[in-house]
Amino acid sequence: MDTDAWRDRIRAFADEREWGRFHDPKNLAMALSVEVAELVEVFQWMTPEESRAVMAGERAGEVADEVADVMTYLLRLVDVLDLDLDAALTSKAQRNAERYPVETSRGSSAKAPPLGAAAAGSVAAVPPVEVTVPVLGVDACRAGWVGAVLEPGAPRPRVVVAPTIAGLVELVRESLGLAVVGIDIPIGLPDASLRQADALARQAVRGKASSVFTTLTRAAYAAPTRAEADSVNRELVGQGVGAQAFALRDKILDVDDWLRTRPTVRVLEVHPEVCFATMAGAPIVPGKKTDEGRELRLAALAAAGIARPSVLTGSGYAADDVIDACAVAWTAARYASGLATSLPDPPEVFSDGIEAAIWR
């Protein structure tokens, strides 16, 4: 089964009928659950033996239809989320193999505890960072950009917000001589290839690989619509453009435009989940928007030398935005101290002349 071909076919079906406006992740997930329930209804009162023989009976067509409906909504959800299905399946299979070893799981239906749930964030895998110069970590948010400022001698990060990346950096530079700015956004856009940085970052966060999006080509980001970007990107690298990847377009171009003015500060691309995996010695599996995930990430930051910010939420930004910005600032401080490493090493450089690497 060619899932990419079916995903494209389902997308075209929806686009021709102008159904895209209805296909947000929430609605698709709800529709998927309804189709699964309809599949369950077929088997509801069957004995185990009857369920095993269903495809030889009169309800075989009904089962096939319901399974097809489930698959249709699942692939549509994957497309809208811009989820790398192959990476997600590979990552999940690896974690399942670790979580359920053959020698302890054979013949048992007992559920094992999540990998890393207890340990991640409890012990730092690296020494606490020393902030020797002012640095800024930045994450995108609804208000534009939220930054975490680290200063020598300051007890905790200071949170700043601005609608543009240039405005945010200048706001901080009004009072501080920034040495390094780290940003959670792709920097260094490829011409006609995939970036090594994205592939290596996925390897560094096994179990969270789907959090690393594939960076599109520069020509795709220059396209004004997702449909045009999809066509351009497929022609150049053979991959389509999902809704979530294209949704980052304005943020990516904001940073790219600013970088092409050659700002007089060192700028790094940083991925928060790569940072947390480096801090804790393993990826932090619980989602960053959950209470558990939030506390594990704050604990990892504290163990790595970054105190909890006094403010976690505000107008136009959420707690996970601030926590991610703090993780990015941690890497910026490591870079200033000569401790950070890049993926790849050395960074790639495309025609824009900008280094393309994810730092940690």
The contacts of residue 19 (CB under 8 Å, 6+ apart) are none
The domain segmentation of the chain, as residue ranges, is 3-81, 118-213+248-360
pLDDT at 242 (0 to 100): 83
The answer to whether residue 265 scores a pLDDT higher than 90 is yes
The answer to whether residue 208 scores a pLDDT higher than 50 is yes
Pull the structure tokens for residue 68. 């097809």
**Percentage of the chain modeled with pLDDT above 90:** 82
User: How much of the chain is in helix, strand and coil states, percent to nearest 5?
Assistant: 50, 10, 40
Q: In this structure, which topology does domain 3-81 adopt according to CATH?
A: Helix Hairpins (1.10.287)
- CB atoms inside a 10 Å sphere around CB 301: 27
pLDDT at 102 (0 to 100): 85
CA 162 – CA 269 distance, rounded (Å) = 19
pLDDT at 118 (0 to 100): 40
Pull the structure tokens for residue 23. 């296909």
pLDDT tens-digit readout, 65-121: 999 999 999 999 999 999 988 888 888 888 888 778 888 778 876 666 555 544 444
pLDDT at 312 (0 to 100): 96
pTM, 2 dp: 0.70
The answer to whether residue 122 scores a pLDDT higher than 50 is no
Q: Outline where DSSP puts E strands in the chain.
A: 135-141, 144-150, 158-162, 180-183, 266-270, 342-349, 355-359
User: What mean pLDDT is predicted for residues 203-213?
Assistant: 89
User: What mean pLDDT is predicted for residues 133-161?
Assistant: 97
User: What mean pLDDT is predicted for residues 214-233?
Assistant: 96
The answer to whether residue 124 scores a pLDDT higher than 80 is no
pLDDT at 110 (0 to 100): 67
Q: In this structure, which topology does domain 118-213+248-360 adopt according to CATH?
A: Nucleotidyltransferase; domain 5 (3.30.420)
The answer to whether residue 317 scores a pLDDT higher than 50 is yes
User: What mean pLDDT is predicted for residues 27-44?
Assistant: 93
